[in-house]
Structure 1
């Protein structure tokens, strides 16, 4: 085993650094990510020959430089202190995750599929990215190293099964085994990864499947982040053009899914590309879940601005620490100030004490919340006591009602257009029956299935905007599978609701 003298190593490192095109700050960030512990100033002094570093620190600098030279391909590599296989170069999962993070820095959004595929090669995997479209009907492939992939239906494809159940799924395909892993941004489903194995890699390995889940979660975060500063990925998810009002309302929505230890929340709106006057919001803390849904109708051309004002006033009051009464007053005041006495927004405000399940709610022309529980293993819905007031912006304050949830209960806020959706022959959509049928799924899948069922029932011809916001409270318990479940989703079985 041959050793390289420290000063000779430093000299070659400095020469190789000059070919990387990196600044000292950029090199230090890469070095620090590997576990280096000298400062940027000390690193600069080392490169200038004014300071010596311990061997392990020199090798970390070497590795940071060599990673960059690998990116440039063909450039001469800097030497480690011991020219042997026992280097600090990361391999396997760590190399894949570091490659994903490093490759995504300063990458244009449309380059992310290439970055993800390149990082996957550290695990000897071939990876393709699919994103869910805004209709939540198809998984759309992003351009990548392999062309020719087609959109996959969420309801009937293997990829869709993994997406629906938030799980990894191993399938046997004509071209070889495929692993489908859900692309997650926190708890929000962005799409799926299609994973193929290189020679000598076994997709049946449980450890590899776990590594793919980690990889998919990190990739999901990066995809969501990239969509905030570029349009390329968002455009791939669109089935058709959105008008300006729908664009405004979608940009004001929170993530469609979020969760803490005690609660999971999921929302959705329809029609996805022609939204006019519905929005929702939520906020989660360690102690409380705040929920709200607003409906300004579709007939008024200014409905989008009116409902956005209601949303902004609600958020502002909530973030100032106001309770339901303060939030109600803030929305009333904002609407009357901005639009005069004629502005009216129907809506529901709610908050859940996550320690005990106490629900407080207020309806201002909005629909009374539903609670889905179980009795004898059959899902059953019920309404809670209510005392509705006139819509926000008109009328006096309403009465705040209370009830008590039980662990596993599904709380449902919705707009009138959802419960009143009708088929061409006038038959009304069975919202309660549909909720009961799908309440055993995770909240985002319950939400998706109910909205898809309503859209199919009325053939997409909603008379108003349909909004649905669901929250499952499970009181800090670990989520478990419901009885007789054959999927691997994590689901909290609901119970019969109780009133306070």
Structure 2
């Protein structure tokens, strides 16, 4: 057809609604003004429209140990399910649909993913399943995940469902500060976990992917309890403010240092690791302000600590820091962690130490299909290695550089 020639009816794109589009479209249309408490009956209604029943929405708990049923009209309630050893957990960990044939049909477990952030699992039963059902349900699960994340901003319903223990005020503050603990793109993936989940105080982390630069900070505020949480809050706020003002790493350190000193005086400090990774080239830069050196992991082996030049903790007024640099290879992982991970004493009084941390990393890494699984398994394995003792905050953050490009995601599928 020539440029400028009128479109003939036979050349026009068919824009009529099919069943699946109409189902998802109606859900999307109604979701805009839907109060949080009506999400459950709305999802249940949509599932019934395709012949489904016994709908459950399971959310990951804060300690990343179990999947907890979300209560609500139209949803099937029950006991929390373990991430390890349950069908729902398998769907969550593999980020794929799991099907379980039963006498009265097929039980479906669909991961709820907001982008790449793992929210939980949606479970339902159908009499029979075909490819069209799987495609429609996968898209429905994606839309449900987006709704949960959006509505989460103005309700306590989902927070309460995810709690398996009472939460301290300091932990409440820290969880409200955090970005999503997982992010996956074709070029880079990140995953973090904070312990003790219900009593975390001074540990925090933050990241942002701006064009080709991944910005990351890990923070450990001095002290315990509410005072540490307040100190960490100011540190994270100062970091974000400087980062969003396009400050370089040296300026970031100076801004955070001034903010902590002016607010709390010379007797308070924060150790911090600030990093920047060019996700196109794999060039890593970092400033270490009194923090444990991150570990470089290649082919599931720890090849060394990224020591470099350090400076004083934030708040002590260190000199202008030197920028450390490392060229990553595709598939490399970098682990940043707080000192509570290695300075805990085991039952016999022995310091846990970096050597045992490295041994655990090299044992857990090969058994982990994704960086998210590695972060979770590593944290839980370290807790077991310490005999369940976590007297100080013990947090970790993993970065995996994959390289390449994400341009293929912008190409039309039609």
- Normalised-by-shorter TM-score class: 0.7 to 0.9
Instruction: Name the residue aligned to 2:46.
Output: 119
Match of 1:436 in 2: 362
Moved more, 143-152 or 332-341: 143-152
Cα offset, 1:174, TM superposition:
5.2
Q: 1:421 to 1:450 in 2, by over 3 A?
A: farther
1:192-250 Cα shifts (integer Å, max 9, x gaps): 0112114xxx32x2342232221111111100111111011210111122222211111
CA 1:433 to 1:110, structure 2 compared with 1: closer, same or farther past 3 Å?
farther
Aligned match of 2:9? none
Larger Rg: 1
Match of 1:455 among 383, 398, 401: 383
Distance between the aligned counterparts of 2:281 and 2:76, measured in 1? 52
Q: Which has the higher strand share?
A: 2
Q: Establish whether residue 391 from structure 1 lines up as the match of residue 305 from structure 2.
A: no
Say which SS state the counterpart of residue 302 (structure 1) adopts.
Answer: helix
* Range with bigger deviation, 105-114 or 339-348: 105-114
How far residue 416 of structure 1 moved from its aligned partner, in angstroms, is: 0.6
Contact 1:298 1:465 in 2 (8 A): no
- Distance of aligned partners of 1:434 and 1:173 in 2 relative to their CA distance in 1, 3 Å threshold: farther
Give the alignment partner of residue 416 of structure 1, picking from 320, 339, 342. Answer: 339
**Distance (Å, rounded) in 1 between the aligned partners of 2:93 and 2:230:** 34
Count of matched residue positions in the alignment of Structure 1 and Structure 2: 384
| Matching of residue 149 in structure 1 with residue 78 in structure 2 | yes
Distance across 2 between alignment mates of 1:341 and 1:349: 21
CA 276–267 in structure 1, closer or farther in 2 if over 3 Å, else same: same
Inter-CA distance 167–477: structure 2 relative to 1 (3 Å threshold): farther
Per the alignment, residue 158 of structure 1 pairs with: 87
Structure 1: runs of 5+ lacking an equivalent? 1-86, 479-500
Alignment of 1:192-231 (within 5 A): 192-198=121-127, 202-203=128-129, 205-231=130-156
Task: Note the C-alpha offset of 1:310.
Answer: 0.9
In structure 2, distance between residues paired with 1:444 and 1:120 = 29
TM-score between both structures, scaled by the size of structure 2:
0.87
Alignment counterpart, residue 401 of structure 1, candidates 324, 327, 347: 324
Change (3 A) 1:414 1:325: same
The answer to whether the aligner puts 1:289 opposite 2:199 as a matched pair is no
Indicate how the Cα distance of structure 1 residues 438 and 285 shifts in structure 2: closer, same or farther if over 3 A, else same.
farther
CA distance in 2 between counterparts of 1:425 and 1:179 reads 47
Tell me by how many angstroms 1:178 deviates. 1.3
Which stretch has the larger CA shift, 434-443 or 322-331?
434-443
Contact 1:360 1:400 in 2 (8 A): yes
Q: Name the counterpart of 1:259.
A: 184
Q: Are residues 460 and 297 of structure 1, via their aligned partners in 2, closer, same or farther at CA, if it must alter by over 3 Å?
A: farther
Report the 3-state secondary structure (helix = DSSP H, G, I; strand = E; otherwise coil) of the residue aligned with 1:423: coil
Give the gaps of 5 or more residues in structure 2: 1-14, 407-414
Change (3 A) 1:436 1:381: farther
Asked if structure 1 preserves the Cα contact closer than 8 Å seen for 2:280 and 2:405, the reply is no
State the shift of 1:467 in Å. Answer: 1.6
In the other structure, the counterpart of 1:467 is: 395
Among residues 5, 11, 25, which one is paired with 1:98 in the alignment? 25
Q: Is the 8 A contact 2:202 2:228 kept in 1?
A: yes
Question: In 2, distance between residues paired with 1:104 and 1:460?
Answer: 43
TM-score by structure 1 length? 0.73
Distance 1:341 1:294 in 2: 18
Matches within 5 A, 1:375-386: 379-386=301-308
Q: How far off its partner does 1:381 sit?
A: 4.2
Larger relative contact order (Cα-Cα within 8 Å, sequence gap ≥ 6): 2
RMSD (Å), alpha carbons: 2.1
Distance in structure 2 (CA, Å) of the matches to 1:206 and 1:422: 53
